[in-house]
Chain A
Amino acid sequence: MLDIFGIPSQALFGQLLLGLINGSFYALLSLGLAVIFGMLNIINFTHGAQYMMGAFAAYLLLQYVGLNYWIALVVAPILIGATGILIERLFLSHLRKLDPLYGLLLTFGLALVIEGLFRNYYGSSGMPYQVPESLQGGRNLGFMFLPNYRAWVIVFSLVVCFATWFVIERTRLGSYLRAATENPTLVRAFGINVPRMVTLTYGFGVALAALAGVMAAPIYNVSPQMGSDLIIVVFAVVVIGGMGSIMGAIVTGFALGIVEGLTKVFFPEASSTVIFVIMVIVLLIRPAGLFGRSA
């Protein structure tokens, strides 16, 4: 067995893989937060709950409707995204003229409501979700064993992240979005329906969270509180990256996942706190975040 810095390579690469998996979820979630923040100027505290709803949607679709993972991967984000649109229309659209802190408080309350409802019906214990048949098993790469499903999660989340980046930074629709972020009044004067764009953006950000939830279902157990602890780490990721840049959110997400994985190998006691420590260091050196413009 090959050793690297006195650590068996199997363990090292195993944790790196786990880090990349976590990084995929950090990237998807912080990307959604950044997109929503850009348009609505609020931090979506419900994001963790919506990620959890995505996982539950996959579980319930399989359990009660018999729809498999691949269908859930499309249907769940659409369903949860639709609830997001409802939330924006019913609640968030009324807060547009207020201090953004009220958006934070409202979405925090919604997160409590959603988590509480799911806990009432499904308890706090996790429910397993089978890896889809076509992705079961894995391959031996010589230096480590790579489960197929995990490889799929990393590749697919990279594809989704870059597709989102492409749409926002390189297409006409994206240019409308960016323009509306900078100056909504002017963009409205050009005849573009900005409020509808805001609503759809929120729905899209929520759908991204739900997509991450579906992908997470076979890896972690599906449970009502799976989102609430994750969202706090994602907040730290967002503070480190700064929310000004889409690419920044993606890169920071993956990078911090890897750092966390490596910490698990070399200094396991610190693995749950390392991202917060990095946040503190970044704040001391570059308060605006690695990719952020100073606000």
Chain B
Amino acid sequence: MERAADPPLLKVHRDTAWSLSAAFVAMVALFAVAPFVVYPVFVMNALCFALFACAFNLLIGYVGLISFGHALFFGWASYLSAYTAKRWGAPPELAVLIGTTSAAVLGLVAGGIAIRRQGIYFAMITLALAQMMYFFALRAPFTGGEDGIQAVPRGRLFGRFDLSDELTMYAFVLVVVLAGFLFIYRIINSPFGEVLKAIRENEQRAISLGYKTDRYKLVAFVLSATLAGLAGSLKALVFQLASLTDVHWTMSGDVVLMTLLGGLGTVFGPLVGAFLVVAMQNYLAPVVGQWVLVIQGAIFVVCVLVFRRGIVGELAKCLRVRL
């Protein structure tokens, strides 16, 4: 009956693919030049947070679940990577793998508990679970308490590439983050991703169509937690440090801000948001001090009141493409 509507839809899809590929190529080109223009550690830091924000966006943008406790996965993966690399002398690829796997396990446990409630309760539960693990990190002997785990060795990747060289490290981080980014893109454009979007739009309807929505939500949560963990593990190697800041609720707030500012449910939004927030914390904090907190809060308020699509969302609307 609705056959007539098909051709324009197909056309939109072709445009979409075009705009997304163009943006992706531009982004890769930008990152290839970046370390020669800007301080590489800054770009690596922003890349880690970009992956973290993309992982978070997978939940809020495509399943409609807002987790206020994503620092839990980021922070614990960061701790475990740092610990294995420093105390056991694990090579970087193994340290990252262990950190990421631990985040997946934590995601399974936390997700299993949190998806028992919806909406606002989901946010409060994830926040509370993250706070519980924060107190645990504060007390547990192996996290180093207030000091954290410092001077983590970056080691040699696959025994060959010396990561203490900034550019080698940069290449490693860039490849992993881009792989994570493409993986997320693949998820949201797969049949599985379509079901996630259906759950976001109307969960009751999805249930009535025979989908076990709780299972889909849990898998999405674990995927998101795993990728957040990957970002945390990378961050531990980049800064050679894992600390309480990584598991604190302010970190969870930061990633929400990055995603909201960039654009909820857009492909490139979290990336843009992460770079802006990290730049603000790096370059603005020394100038304005504690005002950064006020500015971040104000951005939240402005975004919610007048700017709910975020930067990339607004841009995409103006250009009438998907970004």
Interface residues of A (CB under 8 A from B): 37, 42-43, 91, 94-95, 98, 100-102, 104-106, 108-117, 119-120, 228-229, 232-233, 235-236, 238-239, 269, 272-273, 276-277, 279-280, 283-284, 287, 295
Instruction: Kindly provide the distance from the CB of B242 to the nearest chain A CB, expressed in whole angstroms.
Output: 20
Q: B256 to chain A: which residues have CB within 8 Å?
A: 105, 108
Whether A102 lies near B308 (C-beta < 8 A) is yes
Query: With A101-B123, A112-B293 given, can you name 9 additional A-B contacts, CB distance below 8 Å?
Result: A106-B305, A120-B294, A239-B125, A272-B135, A273-B136, A276-B135, A277-B132, A279-B128, A295-B117
Whether B139 lies near A269 (C-beta < 8 A) is yes
List CB contacts (< 8 Å) of B115-144 with chain A.
116-121, 123-125, 127-129, 131-132, 135-136, 138-139
Q: B132 to chain A: which residues have CB within 8 Å?
A: 273, 276-277
Whether B125 lies near A283 (C-beta < 8 A) is yes
Whether B260 lies near A105 (C-beta < 8 A) is yes
Bound-state CA distance A114–B290 (Å) is 12
Among B128, B131, B293, B295, contact of A119 (Cβ-Cβ < 8 Å): B293
Q: A115 to chain B: which residues have CB within 8 Å?
A: 293, 297
Bound-state CA distance A110–B305 (Å) is 12
| Interface range on chain B (Cβ under 8 Å from partner) | 35 or more
A236/B124 contact (C-beta < 8 A), A105-B260, A116-B293, A280-B113 known = yes
Bound-state CA distance A112–B299 (Å) is 10
Question: Which 3 pairs from chain A and chain B are nearest by CB?
Answer: A109-B300, A112-B297, A116-B293
Instruction: Kindly provide the distance from the CB of A228 to the nearest chain B CB, expressed in whole angstroms.
Output: 8
Bound-state CA distance A265–B297 (Å) is 39
Whether A43 lies near B308 (C-beta < 8 A) is no
Bound-state CA distance A101–B68 (Å) is 11
- List 29 A-B pairs, Cβ < 8 Å: A42-B120, A101-B119, A101-B123, A105-B256, A106-B305, A108-B253, A108-B300, A109-B296, A109-B298, A109-B301, A110-B297, A110-B301, A112-B294, A113-B293, A113-B297, A116-B295, A120-B290, A232-B128, A239-B117, A239-B124, A269-B139, A272-B138, A276-B131, A276-B132, A279-B128, A283-B116, A287-B117, A295-B117, A295-B119
Q: A233 to chain B: which residues have CB within 8 Å?
A: 128, 131
Whether A119 lies near B124 (C-beta < 8 A) is no
Bound-state CA distance A117–B295 (Å) is 10
Bound-state CA distance A116–B296 (Å) is 9
Among B118, B131, B138, contact of A232 (Cβ-Cβ < 8 Å): B131
Q: Which secondary structure dominates chain A's binding surface?
A: helix
Instruction: Kindly provide the distance from the CB of B21 to the nearest chain A CB, expressed in whole angstroms.
Output: 31
A106/B113 contact (C-beta < 8 A), A43-B120, A277-B132 known = no
Is B291 positioned at the interface, with any CB of A under 8 Å from its CB? yes
Whether A109 lies near B304 (C-beta < 8 A) is yes
Q: B295 to chain A: which residues have CB within 8 Å?
A: 116
Closest A residue by C-beta to B298: A113
Is B66 positioned at the interface, with any CB of A under 8 Å from its CB? yes
Bound-state CA distance A120–B120 (Å) is 31
Bound-state CA distance A276–B290 (Å) is 30
Among A95, A119, A228, A238, contact of B304 (Cβ-Cβ < 8 Å): A95
Bound-state CA distance A233–B131 (Å) is 9
Bound-state CA distance A115–B129 (Å) is 23
List CB contacts (< 8 Å) of B226-241 with chain A.
none
Q: B303 to chain A: which residues have CB within 8 Å?
A: 105, 109
Q: B124 to chain A: which residues have CB within 8 Å?
A: 43, 235-236, 238-239
The residue in A43, A98, A117, A276 that gathers the most chain B C-beta atoms within 10 A of its C-beta is A276
Is B249 positioned at the interface, with any CB of A under 8 Å from its CB? yes
Bound-state CA distance A295–B297 (Å) is 30
Bound-state CA distance A272–B131 (Å) is 10
Bound-state CA distance A272–B290 (Å) is 28
Whether A112 lies near B296 (C-beta < 8 A) is yes
Closest A residue by C-beta to B132: A276
Bound-state CA distance A272–B308 (Å) is 36
Bound-state CA distance A279–B117 (Å) is 12
Instruction: Kindly provide the distance from the CB of B288 to the nearest chain A CB, expressed in whole angstroms.
Output: 10
Bound-state CA distance A117–B296 (Å) is 12
Bound-state CA distance A228–B252 (Å) is 14
Instruction: Kindly provide the distance from the CB of B14 to the nearest chain A CB, expressed in whole angstroms.
Output: 32
